[in-house]
Amino acid sequence: MHFLTLSTPDLDAAREFYVRGLGWDPLLDVPGEILFFQTGPGTVLGLFDAGKFAADLGVPDASPARGVTLAHNVDSEEAVRAAVGAMTAAGGTVRTAPRPGAFGGIYHAHVADPNGVVWEIAHNPGWRVDDDGTVHLG
Amino acid sequence: MHFLTLSTPDLDAAREFYVRGLGWDPLLDVPGEILFFQTGPGTVLGLFDAGKFAADLGVPDASPARGVTLAHNVDSEEAVRAAVGAMTAAGGTVRTAPRPGAFGGIYHAHVADPNGVVWEIAHNPGWRVDDDGTVHLG
């Protein structure tokens, strides 16, 4: 997977949150159209204007992205709480406060961006990544 | 971004499509719960049972993932057509047939998996990735 593209009703609010609030550096920013960020090695997140997203797919429905969470893993439970604080300060909305997850010793929280895109901030002791990018779970 | 998790109504259909149809090797497969695939260096796609996805977020609505596309870039227009053919043979549904995109010299198609998750298969001449995973656009 090289790009993840999300239907985004309010690109200006997204820019305010990610760029001004969280300090992310866009890979490309085409106002009114699309905002790209690199989110990992070889991986790009595209926030695509909802109307243009729908037109590109040939559908009438310009609904925002739903039923998707983007997870960012951090090193400790304390780091989960710190990241949630930073996202809230930037204008994010807490959906679930930091708490133990259902399985795997996970400790996590969910924070929505201004378009309702949900980030899961997690400490997952069973997750590790080798230097070559190979992921191990559990 | 370390994980992308999608609300998935029919995990068995997802397994049939990605594992049996496309030959992907799951990182972890917990029937009835979640199916994980590594989709890039350090990046994991989680197909999470829709009911459990909703419960995890503390919401009643177990809608499938919508307003999201996952893009896979390939080397040529011919490779776009070949990938679309392979996904269709595995049970995918063509949403937009291979065609030039709106900008950037892109040639692409959209194919939905059995849960309605849309993959964009694209040849994007303006996109390249350095050995260290740094992405360049345009």
SS (HEC) of A63-127? CCCECEEEEEECCCHHHHHHHHHHHHHCCCEEEEEEEECCCCCCEEEEEECCCCCEEEEEECCCE
User: Residue A111's pLDDT band (boundaries 50, 70, 90)?
Assistant: very high
Residue B82 sits at the chain A interface (C-beta within 8 Å): no
Residue A88 sits at the chain B interface (C-beta within 8 Å): no
Residue B128 sits at the chain A interface (C-beta within 8 Å): no
pLDDT above 70: percentage of residues in chain B? 100
Mean pLDDT of B86-97: 97
The answer to whether residue A138 scores a pLDDT higher than 80 is no
Out of B63, B96, B118, closest to residue A67 by CB: B63
Across chain B, mean pLDDT equals 95
User: Residue B101's pLDDT band (boundaries 50, 70, 90)?
Assistant: confident
User: Residue A120's pLDDT band (boundaries 50, 70, 90)?
Assistant: very high
> Facing residues of B78 across strands?
none
Across chain A, mean pLDDT equals 95
- Which residues of A are less than 8 Å from B132 in CB distance? 41
Q: What is the DSSP letter of B64?
A: P
Kindly indicate whether the ipTM for this predicted assembly is greater than 0.85, answering yes or no: yes
**Which residues contact residue A127 at a Cβ distance below 8 angstroms, ignoring those fewer than 6 apart?**
A73, A135, A136, A137, B2
User: Residue A46's pLDDT band (boundaries 50, 70, 90)?
Assistant: very high
List pLDDT tens digits, range B15-44: 999 999 999 999 999 999 999 999 999 999
The answer to whether residue B62 scores a pLDDT higher than 90 is no
C-alpha distance from residue B78 to each of A97, B85, B127 (Å): 48, 11, 17
- Which residues of B are less than 8 Å from A6 in CB distance? 67-68
The number of C-beta contacts closer than 8 angstroms across A and B is 169
Mean pLDDT of B56-65: 88
